[in-house]
Chains A and B, each alone.
Chain A
Amino acid sequence: MTTRVFEKWYREDRLPHIFCTGCGNGTVMNCAIKAVDTMQWEIDDTVFVSGIGCSSRAPGYISTDSLHTTHGRALAFATGVKMANPDLNVVVFTGDGDVSAIGGNHFIHACRRNIDLTVICMNNMIYGMTGGQGSPCTPVGMISTTTPPYGGAAEPVFDLAELAVAAGGANHVARWTSYHTKELTKPLRPVLPTKGSRLSRRWCSARPHSAGETSSAR
């Protein structure tokens, strides 16, 4: 007998995944699956929905039904899933470029409507998959491929947790880093059974996926 991490939830044939060395996306996946597993949700009753990006590849490695949808519209699709069958447990994996930039409007209205679903935003503060462009969550002064080389990003950061609170309706908003695995698993636990929309926003140490980068992480 081996005790792999939540063996039944992962598609063994798809692993190892494409995330870079040391990327926090895999850790957040572990924590989300542990929370879901603790809640005793069934594989057949759970749907993972995602948009476009590194973080949104996560449902592809999970053995539940999943939707890999258009950029930023994961929440719209998730709303549709929930409307079609309210008995399903819907979890949305999304990134900061997905939920804060192109999907910002879907996000605030999903919060406002108080749909019974969970959003897990893996915020790596950059568009990692497409080569390190600055996102609305890029901190001030940080250099990316689309920010000025001197001075870095000039615009203030989009605070997604505050946005979810301000939009009203979100029952639970939490923010942790991908290093805090215990805490990442805990907030989901009391939260998942409550009705209404939840945003669980995770700072994620994913690094930009630029071409030719082969050095080890950290």
Chain B
Amino acid sequence: MKLKIDERRCKGCNLCTTVCPYNIFQEGRKLNERGGIMIPPILDRPERCTNCRLRKLYGRQLCGACQMICPDQAIYWVEEDPYSEESVVIEF
């Protein structure tokens, strides 16, 4: 799994930066693709995300605090191809 932020929805409230236990979300600097006032957060080593690493192993949603607190429903995970270049390295 891979952590993603939908930049079309994110309004840059940075609530996700307050809840992530790994501090994956960091306050962003760059404007979103629309060029508006919304500054989406940047992801700091998102491969540390619990849900990314262990969702398959446990077979259910783990943690998910960022997704629940996101008022704009902008945070989601995507399934990725096991041999793609940006594959998540599983660490235990």
A interface residue numbers (CB < 8 A to B): 1-5, 10, 15-17, 19-27, 29-31, 34, 179, 181-182, 185, 214, 216-218
Contacts and interface: CB of A to CB of B under 8 A. Distances in A.
Contacts of B70: 5, 26-27, 30
A2 B13 contact: no
A5 B67 contact: yes
Interface of B: 1, 4, 8-9, 11-15, 37-39, 61, 65, 67-79
Given A2-B77, A15-B9, A216-B12, A25 B1 contact: no
B68 A217 contact: no
A27 B68 contact: yes
Nearest to A31: B68
Contact of A21 (B1, B8, B38, B73): B38
A15 B61 contact: no
Given A2-B76, A27-B68, A30-B69, 9 more contacts: A2-B78, A5-B67, A5-B73, A15-B9, A22-B14, A23-B13, A181-B65, A216-B13, A216-B37
A22 to B, nearest CB: 3
Contact of B71 (A3, A10, A19): A19
Given A19-B71, A26-B71, A181-B69, A5 B12 contact: no
A3 B76 contact: yes
Contacts, number: 81
Contact of A218 (B11, B13, B71, B75): B13
A16 B11 contact: yes
A25 B71 contact: yes
Contacts of A15: 9, 72-73
Given A1-B78, A15-B9, A30 B15 contact: no
A21 B71 CA distance: 8
A21 B65 CA distance: 18
B14 A30 contact: no
B68 A218 contact: no
Contact of A34 (B11, B12, B68, B71): B68
A217 B68 CA distance: 18
B38 A3 contact: no
A1 B81 CA distance: 10
A49 to B, nearest CB: 21
Nearest to B1: A3
Contact of A27 (B12, B38, B69): B69
Contacts of B78: 1-3
B76 A17 contact: no
Contacts of A26: 70-73
Given A2-B76, A15-B9, A21-B38, A181 B68 contact: yes
